[in-house]
Chain A
Amino acid sequence: MEEIIFNQIKQNIGCNKAAEDAQIRVTNLKLKQDGFSPLPDEFIALLKFANGLSNDDVRVFGAELKDLTYFDDLVTFNRQFFHQQSANWLILGRDDNFYLIYVPSLQAYQLVDQDTLQPEISSESLEKPLLSFLRI
């Protein structure tokens, strides 16, 4: 994603401090251990800008965030959601209505409805679904 998008996010959204490489490596190890796909590159770039985003009920998860309330940990949420079983997609964020997910088989980022799990937006780039998800 371009610098201009990061600036747009910074101006409008609550941002955690940037993730460290170690946090991302540990997260990837845990995901591999649990049978999930690793973090996609574009999302890693976002984590290195802000390790978690918050805009009211909208939350984009971060790497290795334990016992934080404003920012949620990606591995913890996915483990709980999928009940410790592996899945063919990864949840990167949530609000009260949608999940922001990554589907490795399609190499696509999607916004899916929580009730129907049907995609509202699907894109090979993170930018479109993310900005729509963050409401900016």
Chain B
Amino acid sequence: MARPYLHDVNFDSSPGMHSSADKRLELLEQIKALKEANTSLINTNRQVLKSDSEVYQEILTAAQQFVQSPADETEKALADTLEKYNLLLYSYRYTPTSKDKRDVARMAFNGYVDRPEEYLLSPILRDMKNNPLKRAKTKPDDYDLSHSTVWNVFKQIPEFAATEEKVKKGLSLYGIPPEKLAELQLKDFCFILNNQYRSLGKDSAKVFSESYKARHTKRFISEYEDEFRQGLMSMKGVQKEYVDALVSAMKNGITDLTKTPLWKDEWRNQPVIDVHHIVNIKDSSLKETDNKSFAHINDYENMCFIVRHPQHDAMHALEQDLNQKHREDIFYNRDIEQSFIYRIQPPEGVKCMIGFHTFIYDRDVLGLEQKPKQQLIDQKRKDPNYYKNQHGRREALRKEEKYRGSYGRNYI
């Protein structure tokens, strides 16, 4: 199998590009050329590229222009600016993902089960917990967990599904009447799981022998160690000793060095690596197509390893700004069916972003090389959430006064 490639590309030097598919093809051609020439542009190109903070400012300016004057033109300008740095602007018509699904996906990703305070438990569990005499005399086998909508969410994560017997035991311990199972909430299951594992002398996190995040980190570093090292070392001021320690920690599934004995205080300004969901965990319901589970949100294919400052923070900060109106819509329960939510995503196939100019591509990208150019472009255009499909639609909605903009207002 061919190896993935690490490269720097200056999109500014690619005039005449019109869509991300075009740019991706351009990128692939450059990769191919690099492969044939057996050279790297990392050091040569970086001198002529804008610094990461300059890029951040450029993107921020475009975002502010859009937020202050929301129109198709400013939106397009923002999307084009983002595309220059291989980031895509998506806007989804709001499709809420239930909080249960978001929380369960988040717990699996972090390998941690929330420990709710007693006041957050549902009345039935609180009552049984505090009044042992009221408890029903039940056996674990009396419970059919499929009657619980919450459990039906939990069980889509294999590690949670494996706790079924422990959950039944916990329910029996508190004497929850089987017919009341449907009243239990997510916090109740978390409470029961924590208690079950604590009674075994184990930490709650042991529901997961390994978090999805740790598992993906190990896989990434085993597949891309050379490219990752090369990319980090191309950043200004990065110490080799730090990169060695980081790679070593990542082989153990850890990206935050501060938690390890390897940590040195002088590394406080070294680049931090975050594991980013390409499709946001808050949009898990978007994964529920073709009878798939929301749990696919935590798949390795949906992960991008990204330098925290400024890329990852910038992406989330921009989303916060762009979604001011959406938050207002939700808060006031207003025009929800017309509400758009903005997300900024790296394109599929980007496995790692080290700065705004350096990317490590997934092997799958090589597969795209085989596809004709037109096929790639058509594929992109079919994506209903890609912003270019929405050109004109929002303007029409505004004219109908169904889409009253209020971007300029300070939400807080």
Judged by a CB distance under 8 angstroms, whether A6 is at the interface is: no
Q: Using Cβ atoms and an 8 Å threshold, which residues of chain A touch B317?
A: 80-81
Closest to A118 in B: B331
B 132-147 to A, binary, CB cutoff 8 A, 1 in contact else 0: 0000000000000000
In the complex, which residues 245-267 of chain B have their Cβ closer than 8 Å to any Cβ of chain A?
255-259, 263, 265, 267
In the bound complex, CA of A81 to CA of B308 (Å)? 17
Supposing A54-B258, A56-B213, A116-B331 touch, asked if A69 and B309 sit within 8 A by C-beta, the answer is yes
Judged by a CB distance under 8 angstroms, whether B316 is at the interface is: yes
For the residues of A in contact with B, the DSSP-based class is: loop
A 10-41 to B, binary, CB cutoff 8 A, 1 in contact else 0: 00111111000000000000000000000000
Q: How far apart are B53's CB and chain A's nearest CB, in angstroms?
A: 11
Supposing A68-B268, A69-B271, A69-B272 touch, asked if A56 and B410 sit within 8 A by C-beta, the answer is no
In the bound complex, CA of A16 to CA of B115 (Å)? 26
In the bound complex, CA of A22 to CA of B171 (Å)? 53
Contact of B117 with A14 in the complex, beta carbons under 8 Å: no
Interface size bracket, A side: 20 to 34
Contacting residue for A128 out of B117, B256, B269, CB 8 A:
B117
B 91-112 to A, binary, CB cutoff 8 A, 1 in contact else 0: 0000000000010001000101
In the complex, which residues 263-287 of chain B have their Cβ closer than 8 Å to any Cβ of chain A?
263, 265, 267-272, 274, 281-282
Q: How far apart are A86's CB and chain B's nearest CB, in angstroms?
A: 9
A 96-107 to B, binary, CB cutoff 8 A, 1 in contact else 0: 110000000000
In the complex, which residues 69-113 of chain B have their Cβ closer than 8 Å to any Cβ of chain A?
102, 106, 110, 112
Q: Can you spell out 10 A-B residue pairs with CB atoms less than 8 angstroms apart? A: A12-B259, A13-B259, A17-B265, A54-B256, A82-B410, A87-B412, A115-B282, A115-B327, A117-B331, A135-B110
Chain B positions within 8 Å of A, measured between CB atoms, are 102, 106, 110, 112, 114-115, 117, 213, 255-259, 263, 265, 267-272, 274, 281-282, 308-309, 316-317, 320, 323, 327, 330-331, 410, 412
Chain A positions within 8 Å of B, measured between CB atoms, are 12-17, 54-57, 67-71, 80-83, 85, 87-89, 96-97, 114-117, 121, 128, 132, 135
6 extra interchain contacts, Cβ-Cβ under 8 A, other than A81-B320, A97-B281? A13-B258, A56-B255, A70-B268, A70-B272, A85-B412, A89-B412
